[in-house]
Amino acid sequence: MNSNVDENLKTEIEKNLGQFGEIYIPSKIKLKSKDLFGLEKQKSLLNSFFNVLKHYSEDIPYNDSSLWDKYWESKTDLFPIPIILSSLLVGPPGTGKTTLAKAFAKEFNFPIIVVFSNALIGSLLGESLNRVKNLLHQAETYAKKKGPIILFFDEIDAISGERSNMSDVGEIKRMVISFLQELDLLLEKNLPIGIIGATNHPEQLDKAVWRRFTFKIDFPIPSDSVRMELINNFLKKIKNHPKFEVKFDNKDVTLETIRLLTNSLTGADIERAFQIAILQCFNKEQGTGANIYTIDTNILIGAFKSVININLDVNEGSEENKADKSYSGSSSTEVSD
Ligand SMILES: Nc1ncnc2c1ncn2[C@@H]1O[C@H](COP(=O)(O)OP(=O)(O)OP(=O)(O)O)[C@@H](O)[C@H]1O
Ligand SMILES: [Mg+2]
């Protein structure tokens, strides 16, 4: 691992940036891009994005702080025209947007800050723009001294959404515009800072926000073959566990039945269904003296149906219900018969 990224970094920037979101240093990120199934095009696009960022700063004199200012003053532009390295990831919840961005941050050894856009809004409304400026300033300082850093603005639609819902629209609008202007100023400096935004609601993003993103990468619901790959991977993990087994004891239910049943589910939904199935089977066999927990056809199909029902409820519910329900989605009531 590159010595310029280490534990100290976390403490160094956490003080100022921690209030806006989560800071992930590469060594602490678990999944790699190969752990996500499918998403080949998305991987290839993000890979080029990260790769360019790497080239922005290959010759930064990391170890000699006396050379930093001079280096940035005299640095030759990498491209004939300035290119703003920003990318918008668009797709339904649970399609792997955050996980893939973090995976590449790990592989390229760049820290990534997942900024919660509503924390930004809170700050814009509350203690003034200074805290937000601080976020960008810290990112700039880091990038100049240590190299690439990713600012990942999660649920970036929260910015546009708030703008249209606020009673004092004028005030909020001015604040958001100031934030975007600050962001522009930072991006114009051509520092090795990658901006990634993620949204489930591209239709709610207004033009001012769209304009800041040079690239757009769509994250769709997984195809049949990707879903089956995911499902088989979970089945394999269960089979490999000494205490668990899978038993397809209903001849009417085949992998084909599962493929058809799950055609609206995302990677996160499938993961959740397996969590439900495992917990249900664990609880059912507690106290029965069983040495092995058996996930049978009914449990598995029941878990998929329960996730499908949660999704139906969420989609039919209001925005308010949506938040409540998705928050309680994996509660024990969903696990019971
Ligand atoms: N293609 C996939 N292969 C393997 N796992 C996946 C895939 N897609 C999603 N997942 C899993 O689903 C979970 C949720 O993914 P993630 O948080 O990245 O989704 P997201 O698109 O960022 O969702 P949101 O819009 O709600 O923030 C993760 O544990 C991730 O590993
Ligand atoms: Mg996400």
What is 263-308 written as a DSSP string?
TT--HHHHHHHHHHHHHHHHHHHTTTT-SSEEEEHHHHHHHHHHHH
Q: What pLDDT does residue 313 have? A: 82
Q: Is the pLDDT reported for residue 318 higher than 50? A: no
Residue 304 CB coordination number (10 Å): 22
Q: What pLDDT does residue 30 have? A: 94
- For the chain, what is the mean pLDDT? 81
One-letter amino acid for residue 96 of the chain: G
Q: Among the bound ligands, name the one nearest to the CA of residue 200.
A: 1
Q: pLDDT tens across 2-41, in order?
A: 444 456 666 666 666 667 788 888 988 999 999 999 999 9
> How far does residue 95's CA lie from ligand 1's centre (Å)?
5
Q: What pLDDT does residue 209 have? A: 82
Q: What pLDDT does residue 115 have? A: 86
Residue 303 CB coordination number (10 Å): 24
Q: Most confidently modeled of 4-18, 63-77, 269-283?
A: 269-283
Q: What pLDDT does residue 126 have? A: 58
Q: What pLDDT does residue 122 have? A: 64
Q: Is the pLDDT reported for residue 61 higher than 50? A: yes
Q: What pLDDT does residue 270 have? A: 96
- Which of 161-170, 185-194, 317-326 is predicted least confidently? 317-326
Q: Is the pLDDT reported for residue 317 higher than 80? A: no
Contact between 160 and 206 under an 8 Å Cβ cutoff? The reply is yes
Q: From the CB of 148, is ligand 1 less than 6 Å away? A: no
Q: From the CB of 275, is ligand 1 less than 6 Å away? A: no
Which of 95, 100, 226, 325 to mutate to test ligand 1, by most ligand atoms within 8 A of the CB atom? 95
> How far does residue 94's CA lie from ligand 1's centre (Å)?
4
> How far does residue 100's CA lie from ligand 2's centre (Å)?
9
> How far does residue 91's CA lie from ligand 2's centre (Å)?
10
- Which of 145-149, 220-224, 238-242 is predicted least confidently? 145-149
Q: From the CB of 38, is ligand 1 less than 6 Å away? A: yes
The alpha-helical segments, DSSP class H, found in 35-80 are 40-55, 68-74
Q: From the CB of 152, is ligand 1 less than 6 Å away? A: no
List the domains of the chain with CATH numbers: 7-218 (3.40.50.300), 224-335 (1.10.8)
Q: From the CB of 230, is ligand 1 less than 6 Å away? A: yes
Residue nearest to atom 7 of ligand 1 (CA): 267
- Indicate which atom in ligand 1 lies nearest the CA of residue 233: 4
> How far does residue 35's CA lie from ligand 1's centre (Å)?
11
Q: pLDDT tens across 158-181, in order?
A: 776 544 555 556 666 777 787 888
Report long-range pairs for 292-296 (Cβ below 8 Å, ≥24 apart).
292/243, 292/244, 292/245, 293/243, 293/244, 293/245, 294/244, 294/245, 294/246, 294/247, 295/238, 295/244, 295/245, 295/246, 295/247, 296/247, 296/248, 296/249, 296/250
Q: What pLDDT does residue 292 have? A: 87
Contact between 164 and 201 under an 8 Å Cβ cutoff? The reply is no
Give the DSSP H or E segment for 152: strand 149-154
Pairing of strands 112-116, 21-24: antiparallel
Give the DSSP H or E segment for 218: strand 215-218
Q: Which residues of 112-148 are buried (b: 16+ CB within 10 A; e: fewer)?
A: bbbbbbebbbebbeeeebebbebbbebbbebbbebbb
One-letter amino acid for residue 168 of the chain: D
Token pair 């924390």 is found at: 119
> How far does residue 267's CA lie from ligand 1's centre (Å)?
6
- Indicate which atom in ligand 1 lies nearest the CA of residue 39: 1
Residue nearest to atom 18 of ligand 1 (CA): 96
**How far is Cα 114 from Cα 252, in angstroms, rounded to an integer?**
45
* Greater model confidence, 199 or 67: 199
**How far is Cα 301 from Cα 253, in angstroms, rounded to an integer?**
9
